[in-house]
């Protein structure tokens, strides 16, 4: 068998014949002959049925990432509640038991046992802030950034 050569005109004719289903070929061909770019694109959009969908999308307000984050924060605040107020105090006393475990006594009388594996300690008179840690743990944080995991003793 020999090689079959098909001209460009034949390919266009086949395309038009195949796309003539439901009367679209005439519209497609008409759209293709429009010289103005905007009018041609409008013709194709109308042909594809996208005009109504795009019009509806254009009427919806655009939301930026920052606005979306504000909405998420507001939803979280409503679900969880407002962030707790900062709880800061001065360490008035440091106690050590027989096992050399450290307990810090706050200026308001609360006691905190040192649960951190590190060797750093606060000193008497240090101004610290009680912050929530990971998985409901608590951290005492000094102004210079030193933080120690603690457990409140009742």
Instruction: Write the pLDDT tens digit of every residue in 20-43.
Output: 444 444 567 788 888 888 888 888
Report DSSP state, residue 34: -
Q: What is the pLDDT of residue 21?
A: 43
Quote the Cα angle for 3-8-14, to 5°: 90
Using only C-alpha atoms, the chain has a radius of gyration, in whole angstroms, of: 36
The mean per-residue pLDDT over the stretch 55-66 comes to 76
Residues of the chain with CATH 2.40.50: 87-153
Model confidence band, residue 18 (pLDDT cutoffs 50, 70, 90): very low
Task: For the chain, give the mean pLDDT.
Answer: 78
Q: Identify which has the larger pLDDT, 56 or 135.
A: 135
Topology, domain 87-153: OB fold (Dihydrolipoamide Acetyltransferase, E2P) (2.40.50)
The mean per-residue pLDDT over the stretch 108-129 comes to 90
**Cβ neighbours of residue 139 under 8 Å, at least 6 residues apart?**
130, 131, 132, 133, 147, 148, 149, 150
Task: Tell me how far apart the alpha carbons of residues 134 and 120 are, in angstroms, rounded to a whole number.
Answer: 20
The mean per-residue pLDDT over the stretch 80-99 comes to 82
Q: What is the pLDDT of residue 25?
A: 42
């Amino acid at each position: 068998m020999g090689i079959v050569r098909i001209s460009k005109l034949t390919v266009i004719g086949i395309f038009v014949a195949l796309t003539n289903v439901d009367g679209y070929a005439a519209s497609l061909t008409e759209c293709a002959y429009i010289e103005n770019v905007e009018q041609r694109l409008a013709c194709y959009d109308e042909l594809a049925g996208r005009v109504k969908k795009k019009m509806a999308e254009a009427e919806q307000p655009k939301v930026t990432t920052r606005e979306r984050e504000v909405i998420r924060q507001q939803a979280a605040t409503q679900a969880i509640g407002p962030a707790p107020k900062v709880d800061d105090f001065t360490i008035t006393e440091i106690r050590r038991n027989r096992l050399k475990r450290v307990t810090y006594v706050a200026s308001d009388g609360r006691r905190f046992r040192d649960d951190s594996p590190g060797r750093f300690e606060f000193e008497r008179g240090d101004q610290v802030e009680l912050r929530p840690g990971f998985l409901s743990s608590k951290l005492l944080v000094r102004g210079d950034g030193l933080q120690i995991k603690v457990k409140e003793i009742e």
